[in-house]
Amino acid sequence: MIRVERSIVNMVESQVIATISKPESVQKAIASEANMAFLLTGDLLSVSEYVTKLKEAGMRVFIHMEFIDGLSNHRSSVEYIAKEWKPDGIITTKSQLIKTAKEAGLLTIQRIFLLDQTALNKGIEMIQSCRPDAIEVLPGLMPRVIYEITEKTHLPVIAGGLIRDKQEILDALKAGALATSISDPSLWNVGI
């Protein structure tokens, strides 16, 4: 598939991304100020419906590969997602899926967990190797590390995990994050 030139940076209107971790949060995301959703719930039978509802509401949708019941981390799963569910992109911790997703015309977000300096160094190496469209770093409460990753990779960074209030969102954005991914629906309407 030929990739249409799109940019995650241009898609972000609200710097709070609705991270949907329960089916009942799909409607809350649609009713929120967020224009982008990270889908971390569902199975092979329900995800198509969730993606359709979110897209009909004008939202950009990214499916997290490791959180959808029944999906495997194989090329055919990514190709199926692109052809049948038609989200804007995927989120994955598996760097080998980034290339396949790009070939299938999907945008890609590499999710990395930063536990220590070794994880940070490995994460940067992996990102430079697979070149996702953006990076989601967890936990998102690390302004210094967000700045360092932005400087070293020159890719958009999305901060996620453990963010509990508006000030923590603002701190992540001030450090250089493009947006924050948040699973708490009460923070999807903070006006950022």
Q: Does residue 110 contact residue 126 with C-beta atoms inside 8 Å?
A: yes
Taking residue 66's Cβ as centre, other Cβ atoms within 10 Å add up to 14
Segment 36-86, tens digit of pLDDT? 999 999 999 999 999 999 999 999 999 999 999 999 989 999 999 999 999
User: Please, which residues bridge with residue 62 across strands?
Assistant: 38, 89
Domain with 130 in it: 13-187
pTM value > 0.85: yes
Segment 170-190, tens digit of pLDDT? 999 999 999 999 999 999 999
Per-residue confidence (pLDDT) for residue 115, from 0 to 100: 87
Residue 5 lies inside a defined structural domain of this protein: no
Q: How far, in Å, CA of 81 to CA of 61, rounded?
A: 12
Residue 70 lies inside a defined structural domain of this protein: yes
Residue 2 lies inside a defined structural domain of this protein: no
Return all residues near 118 (Cβ < 8 A) that are at least 6 apart: none
Residue 164 lies inside a defined structural domain of this protein: yes
Return all residues near 97 (Cβ < 8 A) that are at least 6 apart: 65, 73, 78, 90, 108
Residue 43 lies inside a defined structural domain of this protein: yes
Q: How far, in Å, CA of 161 to CA of 137, rounded?
A: 8
Structurally, how many domains does the chain consist of? 1
Q: How far, in Å, CA of 45 to CA of 115, rounded?
A: 34
Residue 127 lies inside a defined structural domain of this protein: yes
Residue 58 lies inside a defined structural domain of this protein: yes
Residue 57 lies inside a defined structural domain of this protein: yes
Q: How far, in Å, CA of 70 to CA of 113, rounded?
A: 23
Interstrand relation of 157-160 and 134-138 (parallel, antiparallel or unpaired): parallel
Which CATH number characterizes residue 161's domain? 3.20.20.70
What does the longest C-alpha to C-alpha distance in the chain come to? 42
| Residue 3 confidence class, pLDDT cut points 50, 70, 90 | very low
